[in-house]
Amino acid sequence: MTVFTDFPLHKSVLDAIQDMGFEEPSPIQAACIPKILEGGDLIGQAQTGTGKTAAFGIPLIERLTPANKIQAIVLTPTRELAIQVAGELRRISKYKRIRTLPIYGGQSISHQIRALKQGVQVVIGTPGRVLDHLRRKTLRLENVNMLVLDEADEMLDMGFIEDIETIISHLNAERQTLLFSATMPPEIKRLAQRYMNNPSTVAVSREEVTAPLIEQVYYKVFDRNKLDSLCRILDSEDVELGIIFCRTKRGVDELTEVLQARGYLADGLHGDLSQAQRDKVMKAFREGSIEFLIATDVAARGIDVSNVSHVINYDIPQDPESYVHRIGRTGRAGRKGIAMTLVTPREMRQMVVIQKQTKAAMLSRNVPTLEEVAERKQEQLREQLISLLDNDAMAEMYLKVAADLTATYPAEKVAAAALHLAFHSESGEDGEAESYNFGETGAAKGMVRFFLNVGRNANIKPQDLVREISESVGIPGKAVGRIDIFESFTFVEVPEEVAPFVYESLRQTRINGKRINLEPAKPRGRK
Ligand code: AMP
């Protein structure tokens, strides 16, 4: 097993990693970090969710000096990724005097120029905007000794290759170049050949792993309401014992706190706890006095509790092996088990890799609606009531109140009032306001109509669209509604309940290698 302290890293970087709550390097990190620290060029094949950002971010931050010059540049396809990478680099450099700056289109250029003037050591930018700064001479790259091309295949798809080549022409030949990409199309290989110096290649293992034969499902969720989604899922399931996996120690602490506050019998387990604390939590879990164990991968290793009915991947695992390890905590000793994975749109690709490598038949499920949870809760309530009535162990106080009330009101009404009280105190929380309101899109009832900025000119065919939508959001192709393809644009209708997922995962994507934009349609006549 590799730990972060095995790498020749300064204490400032190790402390920051500790604060981020990472317990151990992910496989891509274990392979990349030492190689990058040695200084050679490297090609990393990994998608979002594998920890690829820290795989280059940790050695990058380690090698920067506080000197007031830009020493590293990271190019990303989108503004969102630039911001995300900048955030991760900032966390890694928490104890170093290093300034990071994301620069992307859409943000005021004068603001960026001012920030650049204050002195930064690493710039994370989208190619177009970086080029813009180079042309204005507001960005000086002559001291850059490290270039990272992140999500290179996406940059290729977005037509950024020429821009990237122009940017490279401004860089020192004596530099370290790192290229990360989920896929390796020939153009990316060519780019690597041209601009990299004898690069080593690191890919996360493509070996097949065998997942246990237990039921496996995934839920499409959004980061924003992941917690609510989790609670609805937990509320709609018959859980005997459940293990909920988080990526980091911090994640475990945070989730434990909120689940406890919401009244779940839950406790957390991770490497920072003392042996005594860990034993206590494990004992409570074994005895069933806590129903949910929230754990990191490291902490859950070797847990052998036979009646775990649910494994829930609150955060998607970093690789297929870890997925298999996690879900193997259930379905033990011949019992039934179910593994559930929460997937955000950006993690869909990681999900596909896991499905492929484990050959698992995973079904997509929708997060239960409030109504469904409510119905389910009523059932649970009925069962609980029956068991109470059968056991005849009611507190004197409740019996007295009931007797008093039934003297005045019909018994049935008293019982219903009590139910109302119990039911509402349990699910008293309002459903979150529906944040996706596409408005009137001119679609058939129950559907949402989307507008795509490409049509026959991009050789778009209905079957391409149907495949793309059904694969990316896990719905049957026949659920996709009406499709109208015109010369330079297309309309497609999808069921309301999956519309936000279609929107989030396809609003910026590619079909037939063509970059597309997707947005809610305006009703006919108003476009
Ligand atoms: P990425 O694949 O770079 O997009 O990372 C996905 C998520 O995993 C990010 O939230 C990272 O902060 C987190 N992460 C990266 N490395 C580790 C690690 N070694 N342990 C736990 N979480 C990590």
Q: Residues 314-339: pLDDT tens digits? A: 999 998 999 999 998 888 777 789 99
Query: Could you tell me the two tokens for 312?
Result: 């829930």
Q: Which of 4, 9, 26 maximizes ligand 1 atoms within 8 Å of its Cβ, making it the mutation to test the pocket?
A: 26
Judged by DSSP in three states, 255 sits in: helix
Q: What distance in Å separates the CA atoms of residue 166 and residue 139, rounded to the nearest whole number?
A: 14
pLDDT at 416 over 90: no
CA 54–ligand 1 middle distance (angstroms): 7
pLDDT at 476 over 60: yes
Tell me, yes or no, whether 41 and 146 share the same domain.
yes
Question: Which among 182, 172, 118 has a CA at the least distance from the CA of 149?
Answer: 182
Instruction: Say if CB 29 and CB 59 are below 8 A apart.
Output: no
Tell me, yes or no, whether 417 and 277 share the same domain.
no
pLDDT at 293: 97
Q: Whose Cα sits closest to atom 14 in ligand 1? A: 51
| Number of domains forming the structure of the chain | 4
Instruction: Say if CB 84 and CB 159 are below 8 A apart.
Output: no
Query: Could you tell me the two tokens for 190?
Result: 């060519």
Q: Which of 255, 318, 342 maximizes ligand 1 atoms within 8 Å of its Cβ, making it the mutation to test the pocket?
A: 318
Q: What is the mean pLDDT of residues 280-297?
A: 95
CA 247–ligand 1 middle distance (angstroms): 7
Query: Which of 292-296, 329-333, 409-413, 424-428 is predicted least confidently?
Result: 424-428
Residue 395's domain spans which residues?
376-427
Task: State the angle between helix axes of 161-169 and 127-136 in degrees (0 to 180), rounded to the nearest 10.
Answer: 40
Asked whether residue 237 is domain-assigned, the answer is: yes
CA 51–ligand 1 middle distance (angstroms): 4
Question: Which among 248, 401, 393 has a CA at the least distance from the CA of 315?
Answer: 248
pLDDT at 173 over 60: yes
Q: What distance in Å separates the CA atoms of residue 151 and residue 508, rounded to the nearest whole number?
A: 14
Domain C-terminal end among 316, 342, 365 = 365
- pLDDT band, very low/low/confident/very high, at 208 (cuts 50, 70, 90): confident
CA 145–ligand 1 middle distance (angstroms): 25
Q: What is the mean pLDDT of residues 176-205?
A: 92
Q: Pick the most confident of 11-15, 113-117, 205-209, 377-381.
A: 11-15
Query: Which of 80-84, 125-129, 224-228, 419-423 is predicted least confidently?
Result: 419-423
Asked whether residue 434 is domain-assigned, the answer is: no
Query: Which of 56-70, 292-306, 430-444 is predicted least confidently?
Result: 430-444
Q: Whose Cα sits closest to atom 20 in ligand 1? A: 22
pLDDT at 245: 97
pLDDT at 4: 96
Tell me, yes or no, whether 332 and 405 share the same domain.
no
CA 463–ligand 1 middle distance (angstroms): 35
Asked whether residue 159 is domain-assigned, the answer is: yes
Tell me, yes or no, whether 289 and 227 share the same domain.
yes
Asked whether residue 472 is domain-assigned, the answer is: yes
DSSP symbol at 391: H
pLDDT at 198 over 50: yes
Q: Whose Cα sits closest to atom 11 in ligand 1? A: 51
- Model confidence over 21-31: pLDDT tens digits? 999 999 999 99
Q: What distance in Å separates the CA atoms of residue 256 and residue 250, rounded to the nearest whole number?
A: 10
Q: What distance in Å separates the CA atoms of residue 61 and residue 121, rounded to the nearest whole number?
A: 9
pLDDT at 286 over 90: yes
pLDDT at 429: 36
Tell me, yes or no, whether 74 and 122 share the same domain.
yes
Q: How many Cα neighbours within 13 Å face the side chain of 161?
A: 14
Q: Count, in order, helices (H) and strands (E) of the chain.
A: 20, 19
- pLDDT band, very low/low/confident/very high, at 366 (cuts 50, 70, 90): confident
Residue type, 493: E
Instruction: Say if CB 370 and CB 232 are below 8 A apart.
Output: yes
Tell me, yes or no, whether 356 and 465 share the same domain.
no
Q: What is the mean pLDDT of residues 333-355?
A: 85
Question: Which among 505, 518, 363, 366 has a CA at the least distance from the CA of 438?
Answer: 518
CA 20–ligand 1 middle distance (angstroms): 9
- Residues with Cβ < 8 Å from 434, sequence gap 6 or more? none
pLDDT at 472 over 80: no
Q: Which of 20, 29, 181, 252 maximizes ligand 1 atoms within 8 Å of its Cβ, making it the mutation to test the pocket?
A: 20
pLDDT at 211: 73
pLDDT at 188: 92
pLDDT at 435: 52
Asked whether residue 209 is domain-assigned, the answer is: no
Tell me, yes or no, whether 297 and 273 share the same domain.
yes
Q: Whose Cα sits closest to atom 19 in ligand 1? A: 25
pLDDT at 424: 55
Tell me, yes or no, whether 40 and 159 share the same domain.
yes
pLDDT at 460 over 80: yes
- pLDDT band, very low/low/confident/very high, at 422 (cuts 50, 70, 90): low
pLDDT at 493 over 50: yes
pLDDT at 430: 35
Domain C-terminal end among 345, 365, 385 = 365
Q: Which of 248, 254, 348 maximizes ligand 1 atoms within 8 Å of its Cβ, making it the mutation to test the pocket?
A: 248
- Model confidence over 217-249: pLDDT tens digits? 999 888 878 998 999 999 989 899 999 999 999
Query: Could you tell me the two tokens for 139?
Result: 């960005």
Instruction: Say if CB 59 and CB 92 are below 8 A apart.
Output: no
Question: Which among 151, 187, 144, 128 has a CA at the least distance from the CA of 56?
Answer: 151
pLDDT at 168: 96
Tell me, yes or no, whether 240 and 282 share the same domain.
yes
The sheet carrying 338-343 orders its strands as 266-269, 292-295, 242-245, 310-313, 338-343, 215-220, 363-365
In this structure, the dihedral spanned by the alpha carbons of residues 249, 231, 243 and 319, taken in order and rounded to 10 degrees, is: -60
Question: Which among 299, 352, 382 has a CA at the least distance from the CA of 471?
Answer: 352
Q: What distance in Å separates the CA atoms of residue 311 and residue 308, rounded to the nearest whole number?
A: 7
Tell me, yes or no, whether 8 and 134 share the same domain.
yes
Between 371 and 95, residue with greater pLDDT: 95
Phi-psi bin for 106: left (phi > 0), alpha (psi -120 to 50), beta?
left
**513: CATH:** 3.30.70.330
DSSP letters spanning 37-56: HHT--EEEE--TTSSHHHHH
Query: Which of 118-132, 279-293, 436-450 is predicted least confidently?
Result: 436-450
Find tokens 């006919």 and name the residue: 524
Tell me, yes or no, whether 338 and 384 share the same domain.
no
User: What's the whole-number average pLDDT of the chain?
Assistant: 88
Asked whether residue 172 is domain-assigned, the answer is: yes
pLDDT at 44 over 70: yes
In this structure, how many other beta carbons lie within 10 angstroms of the beta carbon of residue 424? 9
In this structure, how many other beta carbons lie within 10 angstroms of the beta carbon of residue 13? 21
Asked whether residue 16 is domain-assigned, the answer is: yes
**138: CATH:** 3.40.50.300
pTM comes to: 0.74
Report the percentage of the chain scoring pLDDT > 70: 94
pLDDT at 426 over 50: no
Tell me, yes or no, whether 314 and 360 share the same domain.
yes
Asked whether residue 525 is domain-assigned, the answer is: no
Strands 310-313 vs 447-452: parallel, antiparallel or unpaired: unpaired
Query: Could you tell me the two tokens for 340?
Result: 């559930």
Query: Which of 186-195, 236-245, 427-436, 479-488 is predicted least confidently?
Result: 427-436
The sheet carrying 447-452 orders its strands as 483-485, 490-495, 447-452, 514-520, 508-511
pLDDT at 432 over 70: no
- Residues with Cβ < 8 Å from 6, sequence gap 6 or more? none
Q: What distance in Å separates the CA atoms of residue 30 and residue 7, rounded to the nearest whole number?
A: 9
Query: Which of 18-22, 384-388, 396-400, 416-420 is predicted least confidently?
Result: 384-388
For residue 346, give the ligand 1 atom closest to its CA: 4
Report the percentage of the chain scoring pLDDT > 90: 59
Beta bridge partners of 365: 219
Backbone angles phi, psi at 442, to 5 degrees: 75, 20
Q: Give, in degrees to the nearest 5, the angle at Cα 35 between 33 and 41.
A: 115
Q: What distance in Å separates the CA atoms of residue 52 and residue 15, rounded to the nearest whole number?
A: 19
Query: Could you tell me the two tokens for 179?
Result: 């290229």
- pLDDT band, very low/low/confident/very high, at 428 (cuts 50, 70, 90): very low
- Model confidence over 72-100: pLDDT tens digits? 999 999 888 999 999 999 999 999 999 99
